[in-house]
A and B are shown apart, each in its own frame.
Chain A
Amino acid sequence: MSHGSGAQRSVSVGGLARVEGEGSLHVEVRDGVVEEVALDIFEPPRFFEALLQGRRADEAPDITARICGICPVAYQMSACGAVEDACGVHVERRIADLRRLLYCGEWIQSHALHVYLLHAPDFLGCADAVELAERDRAAVERGLMLKRTGNLVMETIGGRAVHPVNVRVGGFYSAPSPDSVTALAEPLRRALDAATATVDWVAGFTFPDVAGDYRFVSLRSPGRYPVESGRVASSDGLDTSPGGFADMVVEEHVARSTALHARIDGRLEYLTGPLARYALNAAELPPPAREAAAAAGLGDVCTNPFRSIVVRAVELVFACHEALRLVEAYEPPAPPAVEVRPVAGSGTGATEAPRGLLLHRYTLDADGVITGARIVAPTSQNQLTIEGDLRRVVQAGLDLSDEELTWRCEQAVRNHDPCISCAAHFLDVAVDGR
């Protein structure tokens, strides 16, 4: 929809707005220069921070899982990590491996959803995934098969595919039987082939020739691609514990948006998510993922945000391969959880949600009741960088029609896969004096 005339024009596109997701994007151009970029997103973690206060620490994984229907495991894992860190507990290897397997399931279903149903239509000129399915049914079937496989892993380990119920502080309520885990191997082998085909497919898309000057931040864990644990590293040399990083991150509230804007030391913008994980950990990818990345023409670092779909596809290969490795090495943890005795103090959990770093910091009293909670979601950390991308996209695209520019902006937002609850459900581009 286009409004206005002469020196001032505005373009707005209405979209579906489920109540979990409320947001908008507003860009203003004045006399040929982008003056303001404002991505206004609704951020439910802040409601949950208040809700957690006064609740028992062992309730945190199930409560925070409800923040997001796409990445509940991320919230559960960071919640467990924060409580265990506060109580000085380390889980044994078999529990850690099972958590990593569950988390791989979430990466597979989330990345498959984003690559095939949400992002690919942008590159292929399709209005949506339905049009893509009508044009290339085999591709969408491949994506849905990958998503189903991720769901199957989550259901087998977590008890169900959406909002798993088997996760608890200290581990799991029960360890899945070896037979049920072994049964995942064959679907995962097929998924690994499909993921490799996905990299080939998306590598053939046409990408705008742009590069972002990003400060990348992700977990780093020597010898393994980061998923459920690690220290926090950055592309400009930061190396600190999750708790140390949480101390550095300052989130600011601005009047025009309900979303928080995160900066390191209150000054430095940064980006988390696939581009950051890949840039800081490409050497840790297993050979099939490294080979797929090389065949797709990715170097060790990718700074073109539009090519994030290729990096996400490479991470699909990794997640399928890693899940298969963990399935083949599975030993049921016995007992399935370690005891976590309440200790008064603070703890931080940091894990890699599919769309970026997720930090939980809780303060507990001696009875194990949460007295303070802070959740730093990937989307609030990426908010400023997404706005920076939009600024460049609009500045470079001032000669595009309103419709083309709006499309390009939406695509730029989707490059970073903001979470469902923080989704940009409609776009409002106000162009003044272009």
Chain B
Amino acid sequence: MSGPTGPAGRVVVAGMGSEYRRDDGAGPAVADEVARLVTGVTHLGPLADPLDLLGLWDGAALAVVVDAVRSGAEPGTVRVIHLDDASTGPDQGTGPTSTHGISVAGALRLARAVGSAPRRVVVVGVEGDDFSQGLGLSPAVGRAVPEAARAVAELIGEFD
């Protein structure tokens, strides 16, 4: 369930992606699981576009963005990426070539430029395998969902 517009809770967990593109649904699946494991977090998603984060994550102390990734690693591999200044430099973010596309790093750069960024942003990537049209995660990605959710829960616990 999407959280309120405007000032977000102290901790925001957002699932990026579309469950109609198989493993692209990994982000929303993990965010759903985190919402079951951890009380008091603002749960966002499924979000199709990182720009949707603007306004929804404003004021958060910690924002965890869970997304499917394609890096060449084994399907189901979970990576935790702390977005700092180095990872949101000028080459990261939006481009003039996209009509809507913006990365999470780009959304963060934009939020920082207007002073509405969460204090800390962490991206949790789940390596996908099958991004074709259809419902359901591939087996390796499905098995990774609880692991990724536990990783997010630990992040939140450490933050508290």
Chain A residues at the B interface, C-beta cutoff of 8 Å: 13-21, 44, 47, 66, 68-70, 113, 117-118, 121-122, 127-130, 133-134, 137, 140-141, 144, 147-148, 151-152, 155, 160-163, 165, 407, 410, 413-414, 417-420, 423-427
Q: Contact: B101 with A410, CB < 8 Å?
A: no
Complex formed: what's the CA distance from A224 to B55 in Å? Answer: 31
Q: Give every chain B residue within 8 A of A419 (Cβ-Cβ).
A: 100
Complex formed: what's the CA distance from A133 to B116 in Å? Answer: 12
Residue of B nearest to A164 (CB): B2
Chain B residues at the A interface, C-beta cutoff of 8 Å: 1-2, 4-6, 17-21, 24, 44-49, 51-52, 54-56, 68, 93-103, 106, 109-110, 113-116, 131, 133
Given the interface pairs A70-B48, A162-B47, the reply to whether A144 lies near B116 with Cβ below 8 Å is: yes
Q: Give every chain B residue within 8 A of A423 (Cβ-Cβ).
A: 98-101
Of B2, B94, B106, B114, the residue contacting A155 (CB under 8 A) is B2
Complex formed: what's the CA distance from A15 to B19 in Å? Answer: 23
Given the interface pairs A20-B21, A151-B55, the reply to whether A424 lies near B99 with Cβ below 8 Å is: yes
How far apart are A142's CB and chain B's nearest CB, in angstroms?
A: 10
Complex formed: what's the CA distance from A347 to B2 in Å? Answer: 32
Q: Contact: B114 with A160, CB < 8 Å?
A: no
30 A-B residue pairings within 8 Å (CB atoms): A14-B97, A16-B95, A16-B101, A19-B21, A19-B24, A19-B68, A20-B18, A44-B133, A47-B20, A47-B133, A66-B19, A66-B20, A69-B47, A69-B49, A113-B51, A130-B109, A130-B110, A133-B114, A134-B113, A137-B113, A144-B54, A151-B56, A152-B5, A161-B56, A162-B45, A420-B100, A423-B98, A423-B99, A423-B100, A426-B97
Given the interface pairs A20-B21, A144-B114, the reply to whether A410 lies near B96 with Cβ below 8 Å is: yes
Complex formed: what's the CA distance from A407 to B97 in Å? Answer: 8
Complex formed: what's the CA distance from A297 to B106 in Å? Answer: 35
How far apart are A259's CB and chain B's nearest CB, in angstroms?
A: 14
How far apart are B127's CB and chain A's nearest CB, in angstroms?
A: 14
Complex formed: what's the CA distance from A11 to B104 in Å? Answer: 27
How far apart are B75's CB and chain A's nearest CB, in angstroms?
A: 15
Complex formed: what's the CA distance from A134 to B2 in Å? Answer: 29
Q: Contact: A128 with B51, CB < 8 Å?
A: no
Residue of B nearest to A156 (CB): B5
Of B19, B94, B101, the residue contacting A21 (CB under 8 A) is B101
Of A47, A70, A413, the residue contacting B49 (CB under 8 A) is A70
How far apart are A52's CB and chain B's nearest CB, in angstroms?
A: 12
Q: What are the 8 A-B residue pairs with the smallest beta carbon separation, nearest first?
A: A69-B48, A128-B94, A15-B97, A133-B113, A160-B2, A423-B99, A148-B55, A16-B101
Given the interface pairs A19-B131, A69-B47, A420-B49, the reply to whether A118 lies near B5 with Cβ below 8 Å is: no
How far apart are A328's CB and chain B's nearest CB, in angstroms?
A: 21
Of B17, B49, B94, B116, the residue contacting A130 (CB under 8 A) is B94
Q: Contact: A21 with B100, CB < 8 Å?
A: yes
How far apart are B85's CB and chain A's nearest CB, in angstroms?
A: 14
How far apart are A285's CB and chain B's nearest CB, in angstroms?
A: 26
Q: Contact: A140 with B20, CB < 8 Å?
A: no
Residue of B nearest to A165 (CB): B1
